[in-house]
Structure 1
């Protein structure tokens, strides 16, 4: 029986670790912090352990069938053994590939909520308009995933938006939305274009994981908190009270603001979450100088030549340049049908990691 013995040994160690953690959990007492850590680890290991259990059954059945083939003389039993071998052998490679994928190191932020910031870049009014268009696509995609979306700050222009920030909360949000960081290029004929010429413009999207309180410690004396009246739509309270909040982290100059909540308290809490995510980003960059900031490297300068994806309206085409994927269904994608693009990006990311890990 041929199978990847090195992989099997690695999976056996995972199995043992899973059992150890379960035993520790039973005797943890009132250590809430450790309990939380264990449950997080068990959640990550559980899919591997379940798939490995299925794999071991296949290997066991295959081994039994091969023993029958080697030792039995009964024609009927030999025929059944051959059928089973023909059924189980092809499954080994399938299971091994799936288990390799499950063993890949996980991004520790994958299960977190995200804060998204969108800005127009090159292209004037068309760029501002597309900020709103893509924001609409993200809202519909979030709805299809069962996620909740909460707008944090919106700065409107006469034609579109100069800035939109929002939070998406739900299951494994960052694992999918992180691929949206970068420059998005749109090619279409503006409504104001009399000669029907196609214009090219770009917007930038930054996706940051929401950071937990324990990860970033902020000295209150390092903060300046300003309140102001929010602009734009939002209800009567927006215009009558200084409910919007802007928090500045004085040592770094990093600013986070929120104006979409119903009260100053709510906006302050949200702005603090945004600030912590931005400070996390800065800390990660300082930890490893070779890893540029999520916003700087993934978003870039916003020039037309820098892009992760192009939305070509005249040809109803969307191209993701990172994986050379082209889909002729732009209308559906702008309605929130992002699954094919994002799933392809995830698969490509996993393939690259598997090649690097040489599993």
Structure 2
């Protein structure tokens, strides 16, 4: 079902369409889930109450905002109820109809209503589930040779080339930064690691699920006995650190003034020229008694505070990037894989959704086949997030019932 959602979101800006194979039934329908249908009925009820009150100009500012937020999803929910009603009538008529021509017409009507029901479900899900905040347009792609010696280095190069072609097809910028070739080999294509700057629309959204261990099973060109070798490459996708901008709002600063401390005589101020700034969100305290002017001391303290906060954010950013890299690289073991490329059988298996497709060469071209595979993973992610949302609705309902009992 959720494959429609991906077409409605990522598909708009993608160069490739997303025709998922019709024989792949990844997701069961959640449109008739009890919690979901109870939610939509409550949505319609709440919308009617607020709308009726709005006609009498009897809404608070918060209620007006609520009405705006739920109007579209409530209209979709009402149409879903109407389609359900029509579908039940047509299904019942089909059971009783004896004329073959009429049965064909009713069958076509059933298919059309079922399709619309699926579409409405997808549209409602888009309205009610939280929007992902991954509109990152700049990333760092890293490909590392894992276990397997020379074959791992060659496969890492294959992965790098695949993503370069994919970037070209998507219209993204692809700028290699650092290449470490594998030493002690006779191949110029074997690499230990490579780092690339990539930028473009939806670059992080489309590639974030590529991070992990990719396993290859093939017969190396140097293998005379035809024995299959297994090796790995590790793909790391990191959001490129953003330019740090420090914007300190006045409400976040507590200002205290006091007399400067000194050794006596002229060095001791008789006015409260010394300044202490406390940044309330972080608890950072900066003091300045550099000059006899309170205004200048405040300016110096503010600059010092900005520098301190910049250093904190930079440190946090670097720590987060290093942590993400460690998590994604892991141990690069053969059994910790997200995808297997089996050259002997000419198939690629994504282990996260147990999906197998044929045509390794076509996939490595970075074209439509890779695009479809990536979007299938996005489908799976959206389904999982919707299930989490349903569970949260159930938990909220349980807490509400406990508080009233």
Cα shift readout 1:210-250 (whole Å, capped 9, x = no counterpart): 23213799xxxxxxxxxxxxxxxxxxxxxxxxxxxxxxxxx
| Aligned-residue offset at 1:172 | 1.1
Q: Does 1:339 align with 2:371?
A: yes
- Structure 1 residue aligned with 2:403: none
Shift in Å at residue 88 of structure 1?
A: 6.3
Q: What is the 5 A alignment of 1:31-42?
A: none
- Looking at structure 1, the residues matched to 178 and 321 of structure 2 have their Cα atoms a distance apart, in angstroms, of 25
1:187 deviates by 0.9
**Superposition map of 1:298-313 within 5 A:** 298-313=328-343
TM alignment of 1:38-187, pairs within 5 A: 52=73, 55=76, 58=79, 91-157=116-182, 158=185, 159=187, 160-187=190-217
- Shift in CA distance, 151/92, structure 1 to aligned 2, threshold 3 Å: same
Q: How many angstroms apart in 2 are the aligned matches of 1:50 and 1:60?
A: 16
Corresponding residue SS for 2:156: helix
Residues 195/122 of structure 1: CA separation in 2 closer, same or farther (3 Å cut) = same
Structure 2 equivalent of residue 356 of structure 1: 388
- Distance of aligned partners of 1:93 and 1:136 in 2 relative to their CA distance in 1, 3 Å threshold: closer
CA RMSD of superposed structures (Å): 4.0
User: Unaligned regions of 5+ residues in structure 2, if any?
Assistant: 1-31, 51-68, 87-105, 248-312, 394-405
TM value normalised by structure 1: 0.57
Aligned length: 244
Q: Mind listing any 5+ residue stretches in structure 1 that lack a counterpart?
A: 17-47, 66-82, 218-275, 286-292
Indicate if the aligned counterparts of 2:73 and 2:128 stay in contact, CA closer than 8 A: no
Aligned mates of 1:318, 1:207 — CA distance in 2: 21
How far the C-alpha of 1:353 sits from its partner, in A, is 0.9
Cα distance, 1:55–1:302 mapped onto 2, change above 3 Å: same
Residue 282 of structure 1 pairs with residue 319 of structure 2: yes
Q: 1:279 to 1:128 in 2, by over 3 A?
A: farther
1:175-200 alpha-carbon deviations (Å, 9 max, x no partner): 11001111111111111111111111
Name the CA shift for 1:319/1:51 in 2 (closer, same or farther; >3 Å): farther
Contact 1:113 1:172 in 2 (8 A): no
8 A contact 2:143–2:235 mirrored in 1? yes
Report the equivalent of 1:6. Answer: 39
- Give 1:209 deviation, angstroms: 1.0
Where 2:244 maps in the other structure, the secondary structure is: helix
- Does the CA contact (< 8 Å) of 1:185 and 1:310 recur in 2? yes
Shift of 1:8: 7.3
Q: TM-score, normalised by structure 2?
A: 0.51
The alignment partner of 1:192 has SS state of coil
Structure of higher CA gyration radius = 2
Give distance in 2, aligned partners of 1:50 and 1:332: 45
Please say if residues 77 and 124 of structure 2, whose CA atoms lie closer than 8 Å, have aligned partners that are also in contact: no
In structure 2, C-alpha distance between the alignment counterparts of 1:149 and 1:277, rounded to whole Å: 25
Change in 2 beyond 3 A, CA 1:215/1:131: farther
